[in-house]
A and B are shown apart, each in its own frame.
Chain A
Amino acid sequence: MSELLAVENLGKKFGGFVALDGINLSVRKGERLGLIGPNGSGKSTFVNCICGTLRNETGSVRFEGALLDGKIAHQRTRIGLARSFQLPRPFMTMSVADNLRIPLLYTVNARSGPRITSGDAAARTHELLALVGLEAKALHRPSDLTQIEMRKLELARAIATEPKLLIADEAMAGLSQSEIDDILKLLMQLNERGITVILIEHIMSAVMSFSQRLVVFVSGRKIADGVPTDVMRDPDVVRAYLG
């Protein structure tokens, strides 16, 4: 399998605080990668640097072999990098359905290929909402949604961009077991369609059942990377993360 994402020596500081310290990571096409680490270990910062929301100070990110330096966030989304925000950031003055229209109009339609007409867009948003179980809320404002529903909307909006790589940043926190299973099933389906997935989660059962490979961050460093069961037995991981 070929390489989709290649991160080399990625470093990010906030003032004097080192949030990411020389991270190297390679993700293959079609892979399901789990990323775990204690609170504040730099997982979300890593996502932000990859997706162009934040600028990394050192290192480089390559996507399908192309260097992403200098590409701003929307350009990265358009080439197939999508992420959900850990704290949902819905468009508050738009309906739930319109929240999904934005990525359809501005990402999918910005690519070469058939354009989505407004009729298609309506059908497509409905489909996406059905995927995450929000059909009934299509015409509501995000302010009518529960925190958990907002997480689902956040995930649906990322999926709407039709990405090659989907990064789900704690999309499952607070969900019930059956809802977690639903989301896992959805991510599995997307993966079967060829979408590479990076799953950031604190819920270990979900991470272990989903991931083909597991990466562990502690204090901005990558301390383990490998087969999930092996990683969980690694003494460093046991000490730093589970200990």
Chain B
Amino acid sequence: MKTWTFFLAGLAVGALTFGAARLTGNDYVFFAGYVVLQSVVLATAWNILGGYTGYVNFGSSAFFAVGAYTTVFFYKTFPMPVPLLVLCGGVVSGIIGLGMGYLTLRLRGAFFAIATIALLVVLQTLIVNWTYVGGSRGAYIIRPQSVPLLGSYIQYLFLIMLTLAVVAVTCARLIERSQLGFGFAAIRDDEMAAEASGVPTLKLKLIATTISGAFMGMAGAPFPYYISYLQPSSAFVLDYSVNAIAMSMIGGTSTWLGPVIGALLLGTLQQVASVTASPAVNLLIVGLLLIFFVIVAPNGIVGLAQSLRARMRR
């Protein structure tokens, strides 16, 4: 399928989802759906770096938070419509991603992962001490009661996140099938052999950290409007980092579809669990599923399906 066809099909699926959600006539569906879609974006973004190039980033929540705080900053200095804020959050987080890439160019494996955690701590400390955006006390965002055409504001935010999810997934799929994605895979498999084959590994890694960071920031940009009161501790939570990794791994990291399936499945499960049980159960679900998949199906649901199909063909 051509990229444009895929994108339009994605939008069509999105439109159907939105229509179905409206039929329920219950705003809670939008509140919960927003979080699931946010997971789709975060997992897809994580996978562009972690799945395609093999560099495990534990700092997803830092990029998410940077997007959210970019919104807070502009809310105070130069108010803009949310779609523009999403772009701003993407630019700022993309730059942070590029910076992280530069600083960690020579680090591999566990060392890279630890460096991303360090980045998380550093950025959180910065925000906690920056009183202009609320510091440790947090910042209030007053969101309009309603928007024209749609009615409730949450539907508007849901629609933005839905569009972003379609864009992010289309972009991931495009990368995967392009020369860039091929180069990413070479880096993941063997960096030394990739260089020897002419792959500019440093440049490609920077591209990956930038794109990945940018999408995470975009996912975070509407967040202040979603919760209306943003604290450092609600944006810099390790949950986002862990979820992005877990969802990608459970779905399968080698294709764009994996993070989507993982995020829809785990995200929905978590939403159901948070209503029927406690937040602690949430983490338990993630943990157990992750252990199960690492042991039974290390290539995730997509990998499992692929190997089943291959076996049937033989």
Residues of A within 8 A of B (CB): 51-53, 72-74, 77-78, 82-83, 85, 89-94, 98, 101-103, 105-107, 110, 157-158, 160-161
Residues of B within 8 A of A161 (CB): 197-198
Shortest C-beta distance, A34 to chain B (Å), equals 22
In contact, A89 and B182 (Cβ under 8 angstroms):
no
Asked whether A77 and B195 contact (CB < 8 A) given A91-B186, A102-B186, the answer is yes
In contact, B200 and A89 (Cβ under 8 angstroms):
no
In contact, A73 and B195 (Cβ under 8 angstroms):
yes
Shortest C-beta distance, B175 to chain A (Å), equals 14
> In the docked arrangement, what's the CA distance between A160 and B199, Å?
13
Residues of B within 8 A of A82 (CB): 196
Instruction: List CB contacts (< 8 Å) of B158-208 with chain A.
Output: 179, 182-183, 185-186, 188-190, 192-202
Shortest C-beta distance, A163 to chain B (Å), equals 10
Shortest C-beta distance, A150 to chain B (Å), equals 12
Interface size class of B (residues with CB under 8 A): 20 to 34
Asked whether A102 and B182 contact (CB < 8 A) given A157-B197, A161-B197, A161-B198, the answer is yes
Residues of B within 8 A of A (CB): 179, 182-183, 185-186, 188-190, 192-202, 254
Asked whether A93 and B254 contact (CB < 8 A) given A101-B182, A102-B182, A105-B182, the answer is yes
From B183, B186, B197, A77 is in contact (CB under 8 Å) with: B197
Query: Which 3 residue pairs are nearest across A and B when measured between Cβ atoms?
Result: A107-B198, A73-B195, A91-B189
Residues of A within 8 A of B198 (CB): 74, 77-78, 102-103, 106-107, 110, 161
Residues of A within 8 A of B201 (CB): 74
Shortest C-beta distance, A47 to chain B (Å), equals 10
> In the docked arrangement, what's the CA distance between A185 and B218, Å?
57
From A51, A74, A94, B185 is in contact (CB under 8 Å) with: A94
In contact, B197 and A94 (Cβ under 8 angstroms):
no
In contact, A106 and B197 (Cβ under 8 angstroms):
yes
> In the docked arrangement, what's the CA distance between A83 and B192, Å?
12
Shortest C-beta distance, A170 to chain B (Å), equals 16
* 10 A-B residue pairings within 8 Å (CB atoms): A52-B195, A72-B202, A73-B192, A73-B195, A73-B196, A74-B198, A77-B197, A85-B192, A101-B182, A102-B194
Shortest C-beta distance, A188 to chain B (Å), equals 23
From B179, B193, B197, A107 is in contact (CB under 8 Å) with: B197
In contact, B199 and A102 (Cβ under 8 angstroms):
yes
Residues of B within 8 A of A101 (CB): 182
Residues of A within 8 A of B189 (CB): 90-94
> In the docked arrangement, what's the CA distance between A51 and B195, Å?
10
Closest to A142 in B: B189
